[in-house]
A and B are shown apart, each in its own frame.
Chain A
């Protein structure tokens, strides 16, 4: 259009929340057709920044220009009208409606359903995103749901597409399909602002990158000219430690699951089909897979939140399928769910109370039901000290902690109870790099001390780093476990269900 003029130009954007400056004079530019990465740890201010661009948050200071014109969206609708579209990390879709209905709900003036369905099919074929407009969203995989969101954006013909951590829900094959689409969009002149902390992806996809740390821009670079390690160190601001593992001999089988089949507890939950696994003393079993393929259900079946599985689950030979969470804890089977606030911990309760939540059985924190608060407090203090939880003290509410600190607390709480088996879901999701490294090290140390660890995660790099054996969960089915060393990305991707049985549609280049 206008030669050198950047599509989007940010100057000195600042936004403060009570007690924290989320963005501190952030400036950068995005050219038309550029795939620009926004890189940073959790809490670096990426989300706040894109929310300002998308009109969800108003900046305290600073200016934005779109195509050379002053850009001050007061609400997302204003941003969309000017050609800015966004795909969120968490989808806002109605599971009980079909694809076309969901898309119509997000439009200002939706056309008739038949015309819309035709347009959806057209756009999905043009950009290589296979999607049937008549299917119910509740039946779609996470990758397909993301396509619904992307197509919803593409129907608006955006000039700038913001994508917030789009690949966290995708298999490696689905990532490839997505990248083809994004490259095609970019070739047509649509700029893409790509938020991620996955460095290899950014190096393969993006032409420019802005790195944020603690709300400030610390570097602007071409990610292809940097190594992943250099980018990581820019992002974290320090050198990173690789977790070390001291190999222990694998001992006897601690936990065994045979033919576990379980209908979902919620209408759109995943049915677990014929799950078989076993994990031995000293072993870390990694379970990979895209979220929503039965991870929560598997954890609930193992932790005892869902009972009635009878003989299918055995702990050291003893059937535990009908025991509740506390009875399983007494036997040494402990768990840490994915959702920290509201599942692993109660947000408004103090850390002392949260230590009591799972600790009272094994740590003897109550006597005939009467609580021993001093002892509970000591337990909480021990977790805080040994796992480097940054907080003023155990009287603080769980929700006052950052994600990484709370996760260290949750994991420390379970590890300090000396479990024989620890089942953990997404141990480092949304956790900064240094805390993630500490958590992985703690899991490896726990296994080295003779416990069996089952680690469910979407982060394949993490699983490859700490697992002895790897299995993948796909649509409620678990593959047989294979030794983790020597597995290639392609093999892992196929174990995870490939591109969810969808053919890679033709991309017309």
Chain B
């Protein structure tokens, strides 16, 4: 019989290789699923994983990859700090929306402006919006011990309604013939988050994501605060003994994740989305939770996981278009990836022993 034996310490080798193994297993299981649907499995896998990176139209897909991955990574980095400390911000989607509304709203309020300071001010306003929205669950938790999971999650729905009301009311384009949605930022150069290198997909949000990865790495590896975050997550009592103030850490972690989510929202709405509409948010705030865990809450892992997640979205879209795969099959495929990633995780903490283990 097969037994699992707990390792004394997690295996570094397996921790590094399980993601690759999971991708491989996903390809096999996904290929079987595509074959059962009557689609060519190898071509489907190639369309999802290979073509966007190295195929004929890669020049189109690669920038898209960065555009998708940028906000995911930026949000996931912020979330990962809190998740490491056992502080669960599930409402990044709401902070993302509020960041976009506050920052975008600032730009629209002064329309038309051509000040070069406008965009930086909008960035600050977006960050502040996300920060303040995240402070609601943070302060409620520190003052009244409410559950930050519920509060932050429910505030997403509040934010979504605010967004719809803004798109239909206060921020509606006055020249838009009554259609819902704000002015388009593409037609508003001082407030537009344009590509830094034409055709590369790199906008300020992607730059911010890379900076966030580097800062998070230094924070966690080299700084006392990063140590305290890890300590609090592993052993809250030891953290208090070590002088960590739990309330300050809650404010810090929720504040950082709210700020980064707000930034992501601002960069998205003034760039790729281009417009505040009733539903410009694309669920990045929720997907980022998955990205954070796929990346094992490690900054470099999150960078890779964000890119992988973006790849499955873009490749999945391409497979739907080119091969006529149903979108449910693509979602199932993404689900398999998550399933296998978490499933093979057992190998880093356990050793598999085959053989008889018990004496009757």
Q: Is the CB of A371 within 8 A of B222?
A: yes
Residues of A within 8 A of B241 (CB): 303, 305, 325, 335, 337, 343-344, 357-358
Contact A371 B227, beta carbon cutoff 8 Å: yes
The answer to whether A326 and B235 have CB atoms under 8 Å apart is no
Within 8 A of B (CB), among A331-383: 335, 337, 339, 342-349, 353, 356-358, 360-361, 366, 369-371, 373
1/0 per position for B225-245, CB-CB distance to A under 8 A? 101001100110111111101
Minimum distance in angstroms from A53 CB to a CB of chain B = 16
CA distance A221 to B10 in the complex (A): 44
B243 touches A325 (CB 8 A): yes
* Contacting pair B231 A346 (CB below 8 A): yes
Select A61's contact among B9, B234, B240, B359, beta carbons within 8 Å.
Answer: B359
- Chain A interface (Cβ < 8 Å from any Cβ of B): 18-19, 58-61, 303-305, 324-326, 329, 335, 337, 339, 342-349, 353, 356-358, 360-361, 366, 369-371, 373, 396-397, 400
Chain B contact residue count (CB 8 A cutoff): 23
Contact B358 A58 (CB under 8 A): yes
A residues near B46, Cβ cutoff 8 Å: none
Our pick among A342, A348, A370, A397 for the contact of B237 (Cβ within 8 Å) is A342
Assess A347 versus B224: contact at CB under 8 Å? Given A59-B359, A60-B359, A325-B243.
Answer: no
Centre residue among A305, A337, A344, A357 by max chain B CB count within 10 A: A357
Q: A349–B231 contact, CB under 8 A?
A: yes
Decide yes or no: A400 and B8 within 8 Å by CB, A358-B242, A370-B222 being known contacts.
yes
Residue B5 is within 8 A (CB to CB) of chain A in the complex: yes
Enumerate chain B residues within 8 angstroms of A342, measured Cβ to Cβ.
Answer: 235, 237-238
Instruction: Give every chain B residue within 8 A of A61 (Cβ-Cβ).
Output: 359
- A346 contacts B9, CB within 8 Å? no
Instruction: Check A325 against B242 for contact (C-beta < 8 Å).
Output: yes
> Do residues A348 and B234 form an inter-chain contact, with CB atoms below 8 A?
yes
Q: Are B234 and A347 neighbours in the complex by a CB distance under 8 Å? A: yes
A476-B240 Cα distance, complex, nearest whole Å: 22
Residues of chain B with a CB closer than 8 A to A396's CB: 9
CB distance from B246 to the nearest CB of A (A): 11
| A345 interface neighbour in B224, B230, B238, B243, Cβ under 8 Å | B238
> Cα distance A169–B238 when bound, in Å?
25
In the complex, what distance in Å separates the CA atom of A400 from the CA atom of B241? 21
Residues of B within 8 A of A347 (CB): 234-235
8 Å CB interface, B211-265 against A: 222-225, 227, 230-231, 234-235, 237-243, 245
Min CB–CB distance B142 → chain A (angstroms): 16
Let me know if A357 and B242 touch, CB within 8 A: yes
Question: Which chain A residue shows the least CB distance to B231?
Answer: A346
Q: Using CB atoms, name the residue of chain B closest to A58.
A: B358
Q: Are B222 and A324 in contact, with the CB atoms below 8 A?
A: no
Give the residues in chain A near B245, CB-CB below 8 Å: 324
Chain A hits for B243, CB < 8 A: 304, 324-326, 329, 361
A371 to B231, CA, bound (A): 15
* Contact call A369/B223, Cβ cutoff below 8 A: yes
Nearest B residue to A373 via CB reads B222
**Residues of B with C-beta under 8 A to A357:** 231, 238, 241-242
User: Can you list the 10 inter-chain pairs with the closest CB atoms, starting with the nearest?
Assistant: A326-B243, A346-B235, A325-B243, A357-B242, A343-B237, A346-B238, A369-B224, A346-B234, A61-B359, A305-B240
Q: Do A370 and B235 have beta carbons less than 8 Å apart?
A: no
* CB nearest to B232 among chain A residues: A346
Please state if B5 and A18 are interface contacts (CB–CB under 8 Å): yes
Cα distance A358–B70 in the bound complex, in angstroms? 38
Partner of B238 from the list A344, A366, A373, A397 (CB cut-off 8 Å) is: A344
Distance in angstroms from B232 CB to nearest chain A CB is 10
- Shortest distance from the beta carbon of B13 to any chain A beta carbon, whole Å: 16
Q: State the CA gap A402–B54 with chains docked (Å).
A: 53
A353 engages B227 (CB within 8 Å): yes
* Complexed CA–CA distance, A60 and B356 (Å): 11
Q: Would you give 7 A-B contacts (Cβ < 8 Å), ordered by A?
A: A18-B8, A343-B238, A346-B231, A348-B235, A361-B243, A397-B8, A397-B9
20 more contacts with CB within 8 A, not counting A346-B238, A349-B231, are A18-B6, A19-B8, A59-B359, A303-B241, A305-B241, A325-B240, A325-B241, A329-B243, A337-B241, A343-B238, A344-B238, A345-B235, A346-B234, A349-B230, A349-B235, A353-B231, A357-B231, A357-B241, A360-B224, A366-B224
Given contact pairs A353-B227, A357-B242, A370-B223, A339 touches B237 in the complex (Cβ within 8 A): yes
List, in ascending order, chain B residues with CB within 8 A of A329's CB.
243
The smallest C-beta distance from B250 to any residue of chain A, in angstroms, reads 16
B contact residues around A397 at 8 Å (CB): 8-9
Other-chain contact of B234, A326, A349, A370 (Cβ < 8 Å): A349
Q: How far is the CA of A360 from the CA of B241 in the complex (A)?
A: 13
Q: Shortest distance in angstroms between A354's beta carbon and chain B's nearest beta carbon?
A: 8
Nearest chain B CB to A335's CB is how many angstroms away?
8
Which residues of chain B are within 8 angstroms of A358 by Cβ–Cβ distance?
A: 241-242
Q: Which residue of B lies closest to A61 (CB)?
A: B359
Residues 274-296 (chain B) with a chain A CB within 8 angstroms: none
- Provide the B1-45 mask, 1 if CB < 8 A to any CB of A, else 0: 000011011000000000000000000000000000000000000
A357→B239 CA distance, assembly (Å): 8
* B9 adjacent to A400 (CB under 8 Å): yes
- Give min CB distance, A408 to chain B, whole Å: 18
Shortest distance in angstroms between B220's beta carbon and chain A's nearest beta carbon? 11
> Whole-angstrom distance between the alpha carbons of A217 and B237 in the complex?
39
Closest to B7 in A: A18
Taken together as a complex, chains A and B put the C-alpha atoms of A325 and B243 apart, in Å, by 5
Q: A356-B227, A369-B223 are in contact. Are A60 and B234 (CB under 8 A)?
A: no
In the complex, what residue of chain A is closest to B219 when comparing beta carbons?
A369
Would you give the shortest CB distance from B12 to chain A, in whole angstroms?
Answer: 11
A325-B242, A325-B243 are known contacts. Are A369 and B225 too (CB-CB below 8 A)? yes
Q: Mark B326-360, 1 if CB is under 8 A from A, else 0.
A: 00000000000000000000000000000000110
A373 → B minimal CB distance (Å): 8
Residue of B nearest to A335 (CB): B241
Nearest CB in chain A to that of B235: its residue: A346
A485 to B238, CA, bound (A): 36
Q: How far is the CA of A19 from the CA of B234 in the complex (A)?
A: 25
Cα distance A349–B227 when bound, in Å? 10
Q: Which residues of A contact B235 (CB under 8 A)?
A: 342-343, 345-349
Query: In whole Å, how far is B222's beta carbon from the nearest beta carbon of chain A?
Result: 6
How far is A58 from B357 in the complex, measured between Cα atoms in Å?
A: 11
Q: Which residues of A contact B224 (CB under 8 A)?
A: 360, 366, 369-371
Docked Cα-Cα span, A483 to B222, in Å, equals: 49
**Minimum C-beta distance from A360 to chain B (A):** 7
Q: Which residues of B contact A344 (CB under 8 A)?
A: 238, 241
Would you give the shortest CB distance from A230 to chain B, in whole angstroms?
A: 36
Annotate B156-169 by CB proximity to A: 1 below 8 A, 0 otherwise. Answer: 00000000000000
- Return chain A residues, CB-CB under 8 Å to B230: 349
Shortest distance between the CB of B9 and any CB in chain A (Å): 5
Taken together as a complex, chains A and B put the C-alpha atoms of A61 and B358 apart, in Å, by 8
A-chain residues with CB within 8 Å of residue B6 when the two chains form the complex: 18
Residues of chain B within 8 A (CB-CB) of A304 are: 243
A304 to B359, CA, bound (A): 52
Cβ contacts under 8 Å, A370 to chain B: 222-224
* Complexed CA–CA distance, A305 and B245 (Å): 9
